[in-house]
């Protein structure tokens, strides 16, 4: 986790000893830190960009007055077709399944500069489009492509004129029948607890993440920003002052991260509450490639922790639930993976049914219960429905062009994959198996014919091992080598 600047460290110490205005403030109560809930109605005044954004007409710069005290909010910036489609699908699902609160889309530079796309976004379901100035922090972004250089622009949500906000990533799909408004009952700040070093039980929904859990994680925990409850301050001046204060901290902050805004928020606010994983289920297979193959028991354990089975290992290590139980519990899909679970990677297929069939095949060993396939099927169904609806509503449908471009991109991505020695299929998730002892010659598993293997074939071998020791690690290798030397006149070199 990046280190806090001296100014940030002073702010953290101050917030731990006295109350401050705004949601998520805290004060010392004996040896415990307890939250201070200061709920004041918003003045309903928009914070407008000081610069005139490209492509926007003057009449569009100030949205219509808020119609509710709470709102759903998300950020769209950049030119990527998939995020435009994500925004359309999310806006429609919020409109249909969670009526009541306003739906505010913060619009940064990129596709929102196109008036045709803005009309499509409003038709999809966003009640307010608000152009915002980006908050750039490339010095904190660890990705090679600087994918998260503008991620701090999300903090503009704290300038919104609402008493309560639920900030959402665009790559979410609330499932049919899910009323996201229930999360407004959770006190802010709140988000799903995240720490790759923590393997204990999940914190309780809506309760403050305990001091014991945070101490166990040290500075390595953060709220998952996919679904977050935040409370903006009551007046426009207070809201602008808070965000300006945050921007100043960000400029001085040091240390790069793949999750820069999450670690920042973990430090900036205290008394974070947990949002149960069912409200922010990151779409990933049950098991995944652990990046090792031996020792087999350790590789199996890591493969579990890499997938959604890892959600449960701290609760019931010996009893991961069936996929049917997961599918009954999940309320919101979050397509946060950047590998092979992104919905756009299946856009070359004809319809949702074809997506489900293909996903079941690609994840046959990693996710035999079909959790990933179901999530992808549901997202594609939602997209296809809104594309047809937009055809009938608008003279020009920009969703069609985005869908076509992503179909070509998905086909190219698959065509550029390498062939797996195990299944013979092309894959972008392929690696050389460098840690199989003696190239699998003496292994009780079936590794000898695989030098380059896809993630699914690797997991298939690990599942077949069933957490049992391999002959490679049970002292049997030397005996096998001796027999082979006597039979073949020597051991083959790799």
Residue 492 inside a domain? The answer is no
Residue 213 inside a domain? The answer is yes
From CA 436, how far away is CA 422, in angstroms rounded? 14
Domain interval for residue 442: 283-465
My answer on whether 85 and 24 are in the same domain is yes
My answer on whether 202 and 103 are in the same domain is yes
My answer on whether 260 and 365 are in the same domain is no
My answer on whether 218 and 77 are in the same domain is yes
Residue 478 inside a domain? The answer is no
My answer on whether 179 and 314 are in the same domain is no
From CA 356, how far away is CA 358, in angstroms rounded? 6
Domain of residue 60, CATH code:
3.90.550
My answer on whether 230 and 338 are in the same domain is no
My answer on whether 369 and 420 are in the same domain is yes
The DSSP symbol for 357 reads H
pLDDT by residue for the chain (494 residues), tens digit each? 555 555 555 544 444 443 334 344 443 333 333 344 456 788 999 999 888 899 999 889 999 999 999 999 999 999 999 999 999 999 999 999 999 999 999 999 999 999 999 999 999 999 999 999 999 999 998 888 888 889 999 999 999 999 999 999 999 999 999 999 999 999 999 999 999 888 888 899 999 999 999 988 888 899 999 999 999 999 999 999 999 999 999 999 998 889 999 999 999 999 999 999 999 999 999 999 999 998 889 999 999 999 999 888 776 666 789 999 999 999 999 999 767 999 999 999 999 999 999 999 999 999 999 999 999 999 999 999 999 999 999 999 999 999 999 999 999 988 888 899 999 999 888 999 988 887 777 676 678 788 999 999 999 999 999 988 877 666 554 444 444 444 444 333 33
Residue 223's DSSP bridge partners are 193
My answer on whether 181 and 135 are in the same domain is yes
My answer on whether 237 and 108 are in the same domain is yes
Please state whether the predicted TM-score (pTM) of the whole model is above 0.85: yes
Q: How many domains does one find in the chain? A: 2
CA distances from 41 to 26, 205, 214, 236 (A): 20, 26, 32, 12
From CA 222, how far away is CA 209, in angstroms rounded? 11
Which has the closest alpha carbon to 463: 309, 272, 281, 347? 309
- Which one of 239, 261, 278 terminates a domain? 278
Percent helix, strand, coil in the chain, to 5, is 40, 15, 45
CB atoms within 10 A of CB 338: 9
My answer on whether 341 and 234 are in the same domain is no
Residue 473 inside a domain? The answer is no
Which has the closest alpha carbon to 257: 267, 242, 245? 267
């Amino acid at each position: 986790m990046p280190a806090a600047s001296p100014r940030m460290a002073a702010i953290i110490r101050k917030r731990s000893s006295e109350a401050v205005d705004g949601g998520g403030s805290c004060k010392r109560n004996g040896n415990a830190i307890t939250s201070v809930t200061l709920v004041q109605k918003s003045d309903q005044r928009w914070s407008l960009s000081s610069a005139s954004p490209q492509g926007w007409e003057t009449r569009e710069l100030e949205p219509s007055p808020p119609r509710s005290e709470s709102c759903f909010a998300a950020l769209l910036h950049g030119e990527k077709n998939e995020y435009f489609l994500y925004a359309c699908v999310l806006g429609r699902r919020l409109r249909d399944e969670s009526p009541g609160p306003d739906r505010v889309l913060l619009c940064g530079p990129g596709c929102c500069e196109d008036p045709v796309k803005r009309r499509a976004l409003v038709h999809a379901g966003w009640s307010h489009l608000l152009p915002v100035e980006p908050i750039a922090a490339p010095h904190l972004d660890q990705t090679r492509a600087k994918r998260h250089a503008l991620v701090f622009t999300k903090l503009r949500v704290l300038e919104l004129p609402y008493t309560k906000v639920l900030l959402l990533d665009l790559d979410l799909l609330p499932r049919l029948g899910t009323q996201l408004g229930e999360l407004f009952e959770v006190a802010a700040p709140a988000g799903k607890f995240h720490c790759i070093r923590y393997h204990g039980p999940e914190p309780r929904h809506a309760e403050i993440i305990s001091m014991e859990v945070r101490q166990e994680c040290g500075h390595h925990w953060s709220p998952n920003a996919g679904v977050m409850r935040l409370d903006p301050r009551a007046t426009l001046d207070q809201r602008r002052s808070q965000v300006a204060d945050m921007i100043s901290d960000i400029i001085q902050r040091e240390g790069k991260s793949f999750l820069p805004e999450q670690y920042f928020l973990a430090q900036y606010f205290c008394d974070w509450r947990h949002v149960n994983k069912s409200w922010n289920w990151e779409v990933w297979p049950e098991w995944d490639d652990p990046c090792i193959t031996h020792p087999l028991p350790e590789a199996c354990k890591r493969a579990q922790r890499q997938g959604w089975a890892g959600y449960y290992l701290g609760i019931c290590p010996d009893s991961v639930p069936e996929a049917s139980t997961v599918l009954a519990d999940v309320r919101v899909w979050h397509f946060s993976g950047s590998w092979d679970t992104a919905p756009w990677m299946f856009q070359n297929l004809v319809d949702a049914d074809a997506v489900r069939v293909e996903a079941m095949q690609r994840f046959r060993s990693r996710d035999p219960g079909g959790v990933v396939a179901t999530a992808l099927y549901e997202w594609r169904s939602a997209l296809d429905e809104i594309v047809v609806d937009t055809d009938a509503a608008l003279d020009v449908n920009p969703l069609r062009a985005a869908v076509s471009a992503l179909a070509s991109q998905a086909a190219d991505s698959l065509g550029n994959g390498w062939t797996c020695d195990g299944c013979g299929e092309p894959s972008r998730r392929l690696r050389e198996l460098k840690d199989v002892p003696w190239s699998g010659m003496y292994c009780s598993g079936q590794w000898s014919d695989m030098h380059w293997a896809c993630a699914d074939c690797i997991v298939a071998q690990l599942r077949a091992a069933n957490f049992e020791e391999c002959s490679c690690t049970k002292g049997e290798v030397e005996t096998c080598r001796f027999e082979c030397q006597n039979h073949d006149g020597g051991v083959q070199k790799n």
